């Protein structure tokens, strides 16, 4: 077990691609993932997992079937399991997510955006 502090800004500066989540830490069967987002993702849901989105930098919209959630810096939203959602980033956004280990970024959908194996950063 390693114990060290993590500087999120430094970790985000290592990311050069959008929609490519990286693992920044792990605890109690959960992964702390970070990603830079820009543009629209795909509609999807997670059968067994809630999904936590926290905006570190920028503004993120999360489209839901009946509403749109707008998140600014320092705000978070939890998408309940089985709820269809689509993240949208009009400009570059830095996001931190908490998910159980093994959760696919595209949930119930397989596409070119699906990341089976995530890199530790």
Residue 112 inside a domain? The answer is no
Tokens 């990341």 belong to residue: 115
Residue 14 inside a domain? The answer is yes
Question: How many independent structural domains does the chain possess?
Answer: 1
The rounded distance, in Å, linking the Cα atoms of 47 and 6 is 31
**Residue 64 near residue 56 (C-beta atoms within 8 A):** no
List pLDDT tens digits, range 1-15.
567 899 999 999 999
CATH number assigned to the domain comprising residue 19: 2.60.120.10
The rounded distance, in Å, linking the Cα atoms of 14 and 101 is 22
Residue 31 inside a domain? The answer is yes
Residue 113 inside a domain? The answer is no
List pLDDT tens digits, range 72-98.
999 999 999 999 999 999 999 999 998
* Structural domain containing residue 68: 8-98
Burial label, 25 (beta-carbon count in 10 A; 0-12, 13-18, 19+): middle
């Amino acid at each position: 077990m390693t114990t060290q502090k993590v500087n999120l800004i430094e970790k985000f500066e290592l990311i050069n691609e959008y929609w490519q989540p990286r693992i920044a830490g792990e605890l109690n069967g959960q992964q702390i993932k970070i990603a830079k987002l820009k543009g629209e993702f795909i509609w999807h849901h997670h059968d067994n997992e809630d999904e936590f989105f926290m905006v570190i930098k920028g503004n993120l919209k999360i489209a839901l079937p009946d509403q749109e959630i707008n998140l600014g810096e320092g705000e978070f939203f939890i998408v309940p399991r089985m709820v269809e959602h689509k993240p949208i980033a009009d400009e570059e956004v830095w996001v931190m997510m908490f998910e159980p280990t093994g959760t696919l970024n595209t949930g119930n959908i397989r596409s070119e955006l699906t990341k089976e194996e995530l890199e530790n950063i």
